[in-house]
C-alpha cells in the first residue's frame, strides 16, 4: 500500500523551445506522492506571459479542485481544473491578479 501526501500545490517550470522560440509552462506535483508528477502544460510565445503564468501557478490560483486519480494502468496522477484558458491567457491572468 502506498501512502500519499496531501500536498497538491503545483510547482511551475518554464522550458524554452530553441526551434520555434516558444515557452512551455508545466505544472508538476513533486510532493503529491503520485506515480506521475508532471501535470498539464501551456505553450506561449511571450516570455513575460510565461513568467506570469508560472507565478500564478505557484500561487495556487490557476489550477483548482485538485484530486488524485488513477488511470487505466493503475498509475496515480493529480487532476485539476484550470482557471486559465490558452486563448484568453492574458485576460485570465489579469483577472486573477497576475
* pTM assigned to the model: 0.86
pLDDT digits (tens, 9 = 90+) for 37-72: 998 999 999 999 999 999 999 999 999 999 999 999
* Residue 86 confidence (pLDDT): 80
* Residue 1 confidence (pLDDT): 38
> What cell does 18 get?
530553441
Task: Label residue 87 by pLDDT band (50, 70, 90).
Answer: confident
State the average pLDDT over residues 5-28.
91
Say if CB 87 and CB 93 are below 8 A apart.
no
- CA angle at 59 for the pair 52 and 89, rounded to the nearest 5°: 35
* Residue 6 confidence (pLDDT): 60
Amino acid at each position: 500500500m502506498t501512502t500519499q501526501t496531501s500536498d497538491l500545490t503545483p510547482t511551475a517550470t518554464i522550458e524554452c523551445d530553441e526551434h520555434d522560440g516558444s515557452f512551455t509552462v508545466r505544472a508538476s506535483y513533486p510532493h503529491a506522492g503520485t506515480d506521475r508528477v508532471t501535470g498539464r502544460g501551456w505553450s506561449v510565445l511571450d516570455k513575460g506571459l510565461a513568467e506570469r503564468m508560472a507565478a500564478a501557478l505557484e500561487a495556487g490560483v490557476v489550477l483548482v479542485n485538485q484530486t488524485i486519480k488513477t488511470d487505466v494502468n493503475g498509475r496515480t496522477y493529480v487532476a485539476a481544473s484550470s482557471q486559465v484558458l490558452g486563448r484568453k491567457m492574458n485576460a485570465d491572468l489579469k483577472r486573477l491578479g497576475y
